[in-house]
Amino acid sequence: MSASWFTTKVNLSTIVSQGLEHVSKLKDDVEKQFDEAVSGKSVAKPPPPLPSLFNETPNPVVEPSPSPPLAIISEQNETTNEKQDEKDSPDDDASEHESSSTPPSEPSIDPSTPDTAMTPQDSPLNIEAQVVADSVDDTTVNPDDSTLQEQPLDDMNPSTDENIALLDVIKSIPPAEESKTATLPSDALESLPAETSHEESSSECTATEESQVVGPETPSSTPDLRENHLDVAALERELTGVQADLRKTQAMLRERENQLLASSNAMAKLHTEIEALRPNESTVYQLQVALADKEMQLKSLLEEGEALSKKQAAFESRLRAVRKEKTDVMEENKKLTAALETANAKWETARMHLVAAEDDAKVHVEVVKTLDATQARLATTEAALNAAKQALAAIEGQAKQLREENQRLEAQTHLAASEDRDVLEATIRDLQSKLSQIQMESAQQEETSRAELQAMKLRWQEAVTRMDQLTRSTGDATQPLLRQIHQLQQDQRAQELHRLALEEKMERRVQDALHDLETLQAKHDAVISQADEWRAQVTVLETEIENLRTAKSNEAAEIASLRKALDTETHRRQQLEQQVQVISQEKRHVAQLIQSSNEQHEAQVKQMKIENDHLVQQVNQLRWQLQESQKSAQVPAREIVALERKQSSSEVLVADSMVEWHQLQQKVRLRESEAALLKEQIQGLEDAKRNATEEVVRLTTRNATLESAASELETTKAALAAMEVKQQVLLELLGERDEQVEELETEFREFKQMYQTQIDALTRR
């Protein structure tokens, strides 16, 4: 609605301004031509033949009347010349003022001039100037009434040929007739005080002119007047023809004047309608602004919801990845527990073998007893008594040596066992101290990470509180995230409890292994005391030794694989620590960037608010000036008719108001463009703020994932430490077992040699 109103306004203003420009040009040309014709005409010059301009128009035949006396003609000439001079002087001044203010060669027509600039076209002065221009145009062309009604204001262009022809006609007329015909437009100008009395005044003017021209002539007594009677009659006939043409042109000008009055009334109606529709336009504009604000709020809410959905999706994906890593760690833990169970099973099988060896030793003791019984029966014989005594002495000596060696070996074994026990206890204490230190370090790291997490949460809460609308919209959306974080914390606590239980279990197993080691040591002492009873189980022990060697090689391979896994885990731990350091540095850098961007954003927002307030004040001031200019420019039609004799001052005021209106429009456009630019800058800053909040949320999620990874790393470190302790204990047990087996082998060889010598001696006897 506003756009159509503005376009109609622009079109009407352009039409009216162009019409005013053409009328001013025509008026200046006609006045100059009249001045030249009046000043350069001699009385005694005979009239030249009429130009072909008036041959086309039919002249009515008027009977000649007696000419007036010379005194009357001279008086009429003087009076008409004085009137013409008086009326030409203000017109010349006005034309000069108008040409100095707005030159006709360079018209300044603004298509955006308001309705107030169209009021001068309704004034009778401009209408009379239009009448003069139409009288010049109608002398050559005889248009129809319909074409004249449809002719726009833009088609009123001056014709130089018609002006030259009119100038020739005026020069051919004597001074008396010229003064009469020249006074006609000025009399017509004076006879148009109002719109209602225009036709009556024009009819009276024409009647007076006809009475002056065609009135009865008084008889003259001068001989010069009688001689020029024929010339005067011819001139009167020509004058009657010209007056008839002027009547026609006056009728056509009245029609044109009526058209202009109707158009002015229509323009006034349009102006009143526009003034009536302006409050509706303001309400519509307010509704459009409110609708645009609602759309912007809805768009911002949709964008926030989309950002929250993206954040939730990223968090869920990260949660799935963490769960996958958790399952991987659990699988590795299961594998390690399976390896531990296999090692325990191997240890149980070795213990069963030892029990079987004890049973075999008991059987061997029984066999030895039977052999002793037979030896006692053989010793009863006298023949073998000396040999038996010698053998017994030798055996006793060897037994003493063996006992001494056995005691020495027992002392050495006890010493080695005590030393090994001390070493084991020292290593266990070191491992326990290391474990406690690692636990303390992990607790400290956990506390520091929790403190950092709390600080990050506080900073995040402060950033969230600074955003007024985002806290309201995202409060309900962050509840599931908080619940998920609480669930993750509970899972971490459960994992910590599980780790503590596993450590206690491993410690109990280590204590059981130590207790078993002590029992094995006691059994070893018993085996050493009963070493002579184990000679029959050489083959069985050799097979067991081979099996143990194979098991040892397998365990060595497992130990190598575990060491490789430990190396890989240590390398991975180093990489994770490096990543944690890099991410912490990035986090600090991003926090600094966010802080600087927030400070810049706040400063820019404050500056833009100040500039926006200043611009709003300027726009309000310009609107007030615009309203004042419109009020000053809106002059009613009656006041314009009453002030028709002050044409020059009114034209100057209209031109000034048009210039001021144009300047105000330019200022308003400039302020609107500046306001649009400021809105775009504010929108860009809001986008940067939104991106910064998204970056903060992403960093918080990344920090949470890093904390979970750090906790998982601590759990893996603890599990690896426990596995190292267990591996060390198993290695020590296997080393002791190997030493025991080697000692038993040596003792078995010695006893075998001894028994072989005894059997050889007995067989020789």
Give me the pLDDT at residue 679, please: 75
Q: What is the DSSP string of 372-421?
A: HHHHHHHHTSSTTHHHHHHHHHHHHHHHHHHHHHHHHHHHHHHHHHHHHH
- d(CA 716, CA 721) in angstroms, rounded, equals 8
- pLDDT > 70: what percent of the chain? 51
Query: Does the structure show a pLDDT above 80 at 138?
Result: no
Q: What is the DSSP string of 225-242?
A: HHHTHHHHHHHHHHHHHH
Give me the pLDDT at residue 378, please: 60
C-alpha Rg value of the chain to the nearest Å: 65
The domain segmentation of the chain, as residue ranges, is 2-99+112-278, 381-633+669-764
- State mean pLDDT over 344-357: 74
Kindly give, in sequence order, each residue whose CB lies less than 8 Å from that of residue 242, ignoring residues fewer than 6 positions away: 54, 169, 173, 181
Give me the pLDDT at residue 620, please: 72
Residue 158: which of 184, 129, 195, 193 has the closest Cα? 129
| 155: its two tokens | 């088609």
Contact 133, 26 (CB under 8 A): yes
Contact 101, 650 (CB under 8 A): no
Query: Does the structure show a pLDDT above 70 at 687?
Result: yes
Neighbour count for residue 734 (Cβ, 10 Å): 19
- State mean pLDDT over 656-671: 67
Tell me what the pLDDT averaged over the chain comes to: 65
Block residue for tokens 């310009």: 622
| 228: its two tokens | 């020029």
pLDDT digits (tens, 9 = 90+) for 79-112: 555 544 554 444 444 444 444 444 433 333 343 3
Give me the pLDDT at residue 383, please: 62
What's the one-letter identity of residue 688?
A
CA dihedral 384, 387, 390, 396 (to 10 degrees): -60
Give me the pLDDT at residue 568, please: 74
- d(CA 195, CA 638) in angstroms, rounded, equals 10
| 662: its two tokens | 């144009």
- State mean pLDDT over 232-238: 78
Query: Does the structure show a pLDDT above 60 at 520?
Result: yes
Half-sphere exposure of 495 (CA within 13 A, CB side): 20
Query: Does the structure show a pLDDT above 70 at 525?
Result: no
Q: Global pTM?
A: 0.20
pLDDT digits (tens, 9 = 90+) for 635-657: 444 454 444 444 444 454 445 55
Give me the pLDDT at residue 388, please: 58
- State mean pLDDT over 229-240: 77
Give me the pLDDT at residue 464, please: 64
Dihedral sign (CA 735, 740, 746, 748): negative
Contact 545, 745 (CB under 8 A): yes
pLDDT band at 189 (very low <50, low <70, confident <90, very high): very low
What's the one-letter identity of residue 270?
L
- State mean pLDDT over 705-709: 75
Residue 180: which of 246, 131, 105 has the closest Cα? 246
pLDDT band at 144 (very low <50, low <70, confident <90, very high): very low
pLDDT digits (tens, 9 = 90+) for 395-418: 677 767 767 876 777 777 778 777
Contact 474, 696 (CB under 8 A): no
